[in-house]
Amino acid sequence: MRIIEILRTVVIAVVMTSVTSCNYLNVDRYFVDTFSKDSVFINKINLNRYLWNIPTMFEDEGGIWAYNSTPGLCASGEVFSQWDVTTYPGVQFYLGNITPDNLMSFGSVWTQMYKVIRRCNTILDNIDQCKDLTALDRKEVLGYTYFMRAYAYYQLLVDFGPVVLVGDDLMETNREPEYYARERATFDESADYICEEFEKAAKYMPTTVPLSQFGRPTQGAALALVARIRLMQASPSFNGGLSAKRYFSQWKRDSDGADYVSQTYDDRKWAVAAYAAKRVIDMGIYQLFTVPRGESTEKLPDNVPGASFPNGAGDINPYRSYKDMFSGEAVPYRNPEFIWGRYSEQVRRLTRHSFPVETMGGWNEMSIPQKFIDAFYMEDGRDISQPSEKYPYDESGFTDKDKNRWGYVQKGHLFNMYNNREWRFYANIGFHGCFWPCNSTSEDRRKNWIVKYSVDGNAGKTQTDGDLRNYPITGYVSKKYIHDDDAWAGNDQMVLSKAFPIIRYAEILISYAEALNNIQGSHEIEGKTYSRNLPEIQKYFNMIRYRSGLPGVGESELASAGEMQKVIEREWMIEFFHENRYYYNIRRWGTLEDEMREPVMGMNTDALENEGYFTRTVVNHPFARYRCKDKKLVFLPIGRDEVRKHGGLLKQNPGY
């Protein structure tokens, strides 16, 4: 979750300020290191250089697997890796080995974000010295400065919890120790302040940016992040729910005894979250990405409305409408669903973790647990435990013929567990018997593979490069960001550029549905009344379902708020698979400990294909057996040195 992609657009800003350079980043870093503060504000050229250096202090948001500063997928349970824990700090985190004295790559985040805040405050304190700024220039500088300051606080809030609010203080570096001794704000105080800053930024930011500036946040990005924070703030772990009491009941601020996390339920917070999401919807500039239905594409299941999208799925290709957003097929800067997205080298490079080793040049070790496989619906929207006669589910036997539907190639002799599943399953999951085209390579031996993970398979534990960690121990890998043309080995091989959705419109729709579903009363926000409005929940939630070629929810599911919440949580799990939302969701819902208690399961990758491979098996690996089940994992710890700097006023997170 970082914004360095903004730098891809710096060329535009540079042209506008009559500065050109092929090595702009190097020039900019030299500038920041060597120029005095007074020089920064001599003219708008220098100010723009200083401003657009700030995004270099954020990391690639797409770095959610490895080498990252967010715990990400490894810590959420969405992937399981046998690899060395120094490669995946998220593994260290869920093993309980991250401490105030051993933060690995997480250690620099706290100080780095406060450096961002200080630089933003420097601009805000001195902008009036820059005399050649036009009114339009000033508006742009203010908008992005407020945004980046809020985004830095946001990074701290979601990973470390309540923050130290410094306001507009420049936090000079040469003051006495007492100057830095400050208490943390409460979670609500932190969230409210950050939302206010994003609101302030939105007033100055454009609603759209030119296609050439893809990656720059807009007004919609600021308001969508407000919606994300408000939903978090309304959720049980931060709004007086049982998990709030379990996690934080003894965590109080020393100066006034205030609870760092509210222990009192406030129903109005759900209404505020609903308002924040609906405001983005009402902007009218975002919509779910779809690909039109082709002339020869198959018929939808009978229970899926045949009306045109968004009232049904009759005119769209469900598989490509979801898959193409992530694989590199769709042009990201033309994608109306990306409220804020960016090209991500981390995503592109780390797709290699899913490719088999020997023939396809991958690392083949990013395993998906069975619980995520089971979460995907059948093609007609039924659960695997209650399949229909037309779309049966069976954990025995194999299919007898090839299928090529909606652009997805399914080879024959496929285990029936993987047949008749919904289209997001095929867009996201690589399984035993899955077809890998690798079209870009001209070497026949490295393309058109039916990949198999059994011990006698072409991608199992006997087919590695000698490193026995390089196979998916559960029998599943992620294919979410992988295009049919992508290949990591062979002559002419290439891997398409990938875009990472920092926040997309589908999140706003499901957030709105979840917020409305949980309102118990009726609340007026900005002149509009919000309550548990069933038609509204159904309308916006079903858009996501229809885009996937599934039936929407009906009256029976909507009847109970508790049952509908379970449906919504499952939809979050499927729709946002490997987008780094699950990690934060299980924390705000209060299901973290339950998730960590569940055994990691998969297929029996120690068995032959025809002698037990297709058997649900508990993963017997130390990283699976010794997962930490402590509630302290809601937040990362703050480094001990940082705590000491505050003279005892900066209270550590619970459990550390």
Cα–Cα distance list, 464 to 242, 453, 457 (Å): 46, 11, 11
Helix (H) or strand (E) holding 449: strand 449-451
User: In Å, what is the CA distance from 51 to each residue of 14, 64, 147?
Assistant: 12, 26, 12
- What pLDDT, on the 0 to 100 scale, is given for residue 68? 73
Angle at the Cα of 227 from the Cα atoms of 320 and 581, rounded to 5 degrees: 50
Phi then psi for residue 596, to 5 deg, are: -70, -25
Q: Give the Cα-Cα-Cα angle 567, 571, 576 (nearest 5 degrees).
A: 160
What is the CA angle 26-30-34, rounded to 5? 175
- State pLDDT tens for residues 513-526: 999 999 999 999 99
Residue 8: the pLDDT is 37
pLDDT band at 174 (very low <50, low <70, confident <90, very high): confident
Confidence check: pLDDT of 27 > 80: no
**CA torsion angle 302 303 307 313 (round to 10):** -90
pLDDT confidence tier of residue 568, bands split at 50, 70 and 90? very high
pLDDT at 437 over 70: yes
> Of 420, 442, 500, whose CA–CA distance to 215 is shortest?
500
CA–CA dist 546, 539 (Å, integer): 11
| CA 33/CA 41 separation, integer angstroms | 15
- What are the φ/ψ torsions at residue 484 (nearest 5 degrees)? -60, -25
45-59, 79-93, 419-433: segment of lowest average pLDDT: 79-93
pLDDT value of position 35: 63
Residue written as token pair 């690996």: 621
Asked if residues 13 and 47 have their Cβ atoms less than 8 Å apart, the reply is: no
What angle (nearest 5°) sits at the alpha carbon of residue 123, between those of residues 201 and 181?
Answer: 95
Q: Which residue has the tokens 């045109």?
A: 308
Judge whether residue 194 has pLDDT over 70: yes
Taking the CB of residue 597, how many other CB atoms lie within 10 A of it? 9
Residue 47 gets which letter from DSSP? H
- 496 contacts: CB under 8 Å, gap ≥ 6: 327, 328, 329, 348, 483, 485, 486
Structure confidence at residue 29 (pLDDT): 53
Question: In 380-421, where do the E strands start and end?
Answer: 403-405, 408-410
State the Cα–Cα distance between residues 164 and 183, nearest whole angstrom: 6
SS (H, E, C) 468-501: CCCCCCCCCEECCCCCCCCCCCCCCCCCCCCEEE
Question: What's the confidence (pLDDT) of residue 11?
Answer: 32
CA atoms of 461 and 456, how far apart (whole Å): 8
Predicted local distance difference test score (pLDDT) of residue 15 = 31
Task: Look at phi and psi of residue 171 and say left if phi exceeds 0, alpha if psi is from -120 to 50, else beta.
Answer: left
Q: Name the percent of the chain in helix, strand, coil, to the closest 5.
A: 45, 10, 50
- Bridge partners for 341 per DSSP: 501
Q: With bands split at pLDDT 50, 70 and 90, how would you rate the model's confidence at 539?
A: very high
Nearest-angstrom CA–CA distance, 481 and 478: 8
Q: How does the average pLDDT of the chain come out, rounded?
A: 92
- Please tell me the distance from the alpha carbon of residue 284 to that of residue 331, in angstroms, as a whole number: 21
State residue 119 phi and psi, 5-degree precision: -65, -40
Residues 570 and 550: their CA atoms lie apart, in Å, by: 14
pLDDT of residue 209 exceeding 50, the answer is yes
pLDDT given at position 295? 77
Predicted TM-score (pTM) of this structure: 0.94
Rounded to 5 degrees, φ, ψ at 110 are -55, -50
pLDDT, residue 438, reads: 98
Q: What is the DSSP letter of 259?
A: B
**Mean pLDDT confidence for 131-149:** 97
Query: What is the biggest distance separating any 2 CA atoms in the chain, rounded to whole angstroms?
Result: 77
